[in-house]
Amino acid sequence: METIVFSLLNGVIYGLLLFMLSSGLTLIFSMMGVLNFAHASFYMLGAYFAYTIMGVSSFWLALFIAPVLVGVIGMGVEKWGLRRVHANGHVAELLFTFGLAYLIDEIVKIIWGRTSVNYQVPDSLNFTLFTLYGADYPAYRIFMFFVAVAMLIFLWYMLKKTRIGLIIQAALTHPHMVGHLGHNVPLVFMGVFGAGCALAGLAGVIGGNYFITDPAMAVQMGPIVFVVVVVGGLGSLEGAFIAAMLIGILQTSAVSINASLADIFGFLGLSPASEVGEITISSMAPMLPFLLLVLILIVKPTGLMGDREV
């Protein structure tokens, strides 16, 4: 019982963090038709900016300023980088974001060093909220949960209930028509790219001090975010949400399962002493998202909620 409760709690929070990252990525994809390889780098920038801002003022200021800064950088990248490259087709754009990811990596190493920085949870949130089955539950995790949920509601409201959202949705599918109607489509694109990056930055602000802030965090987070987006269906926000939750819960709960493959497939004659049989589910946890990715691509290439082929 306690295993299930903990797995769900931790899985949901991890899932929400993943969603925060992948929502921006999937928005950008549906807009430009290109996967932004540098997306996780913006996540990293968010964490580093927050660390620096926290050093001179407070975490709460960082929580607002860092994502905005990251968003502004994202807009700049779109305006002076991607938009120019766009004329040369998707491959050029893809390569551009790929190079950008390396560039950001190296810049971060030059400015903040190659090792992790001491980006800590603020003292005002660094306490035990409640004790569950003998384990303390840190308040910061619940804080992460609320920030993510607030962002989720805001995003949903913005896209579905406001005029801006209407124009964005229209621009995603019929950019030329929206342009002919007199809307500034390049501005919309720049705004969406910036907002997507800002979301990644926000995830960095709240994820960076919970995990670890180092130059490798982008490389480590990158693949898993792509998995979320592809499994959810490219361009689908609802899909990204479901996929993020699924992967978050799958990964955290797998860790707590002690059973080995032999225990599960024993009826097929798999011996517990064999190489394959002795693999435990918990040791397979980091592999599961990628297994899911492969399965989804075989069974439903459009992803869970998507409508276009990868």
Partner 1 sequence: MTKFTRAALAASVSFMAMAGSAYAEMKIAFIDPLSGPMGPSGDAAFTSYKLAFEHINNEGGINGEQVELTGYDNKVSPKESLVQLQKAIDSGARYIFQGNGSSVAAAIIDAVNKHNARNPGEEVLFMNYAAVTPAFTNEACSFWHFRFDAHADMKMNAITDWITARDDIQKVYLIGQDYVFGEAVAAAAEKQLGEKDSSIEIVGNELHPLAKVKDFTPYIQKIIQSEADAVITGNWGQDMTLLVKAAADSGLTIPFLTFYGGSLGAVAALGEGSIDTLYQVSEGVTNQEASDEQYALIEEYKQRFPDYDYYYHRAFVAAEMLKAAAEKAGSNEPIEVAKALEGLTVEGAYGPVTMRAEDHQAQQNLYISTVSKDVKYGVDNIDLGWVLVDNGTIDASAAEEPTTCEMERPE
Is residue 118 close enough to count as binding partner 1 by CB under 8 A?
A: yes
In whole angstroms, what is the distance from residue 47 CA to residue 63 CA?
A: 10
Is residue 220 close enough to count as binding partner 1 by CB under 8 A?
A: yes
Helices (H), the chain: 2-32, 39-56, 59-77, 83-86, 90-112, 139-161, 163-173, 175-180, 185-208, 217-232, 237-255, 261-265, 281-284, 288-299
The DSSP 8-state label assigned to residue 209 in this structure reads T
Q: Which two tokens stand for residue 141?
A: 């995790």
Is residue 131 close enough to count as binding partner 1 by CB under 8 A?
A: yes
Using the rule CB under 8 A, which residue among 52, 122, 282, 308 binds partner 1? 282
Q: Give backbone dihedrals phi and psi of 86, rounded to 5 degrees, phi first.
A: -50, -35
Using the rule CB under 8 A, which residue among 124, 128, 184, 271 binds partner 1? 128
Largest CA distance in the chain: 69
Is residue 145 a contact partner of residue 16, using CB atoms and an 8 Å limit? yes
Q: Which of residues 92-111 bind partner 1 (CB under 8 A)?
A: 109
C-alpha count within 13 angstroms, C-beta hemisphere, residue 196: 32
Using the rule CB under 8 A, which residue among 283, 294, 295, 301 binds partner 1? 283
- Residue span binding partner 1 (CB under 8 A) among the ranges 161-169, 187-195, 262-270, 279-287: 279-287
In whole angstroms, what is the distance from residue 229 CA to residue 304 CA?
A: 10
Is residue 1 close enough to count as binding partner 1 by CB under 8 A?
A: no
Q: Give backbone dihedrals phi and psi of 128, rounded to 5 degrees, phi first.
A: -85, 125
**Cross-strand partners of 131:** 136
Is residue 116 close enough to count as binding partner 1 by CB under 8 A?
A: yes
Q: Which is nearer to partner 1, 191 or 208 (CB)?
A: 208
How near is the Cβ of 226 to partner 1 at its closest, in Å?
16
In whole angstroms, what is the distance from residue 86 CA to residue 84 CA?
A: 5
User: How many residues are given for the chain?
Assistant: 310
How near is the Cβ of 286 to partner 1 at its closest, in Å?
5
How near is the Cβ of 22 to partner 1 at its closest, in Å?
16
Is residue 251 a contact partner of residue 14, using CB atoms and an 8 Å limit? yes
Is residue 114 close enough to count as binding partner 1 by CB under 8 A?
A: yes
- Residue span binding partner 1 (CB under 8 A) among the ranges 2-10, 160-168, 233-241, 302-310: 2-10
Q: Which is nearer to partner 1, 212 or 297 (CB)?
A: 212
Residue type, 199: L
Q: Which of residues 174-213 bind partner 1 (CB under 8 A)?
A: 210-212
Q: Which two tokens stand for residue 44?
A: 């990293």
How near is the Cβ of 206 to partner 1 at its closest, in Å?
13
Binding mask 19-58 for partner 1 (x = CB under 8 A): ----------------------------------------
Is residue 286 close enough to count as binding partner 1 by CB under 8 A?
A: yes
What residues make contact with partner 1 under the rule CB under 8 A? 2-3, 6-7, 10, 14, 109, 113-116, 118, 128, 131, 133-138, 140, 210-212, 214-216, 219-220, 252-253, 255-256, 282-283, 285-286
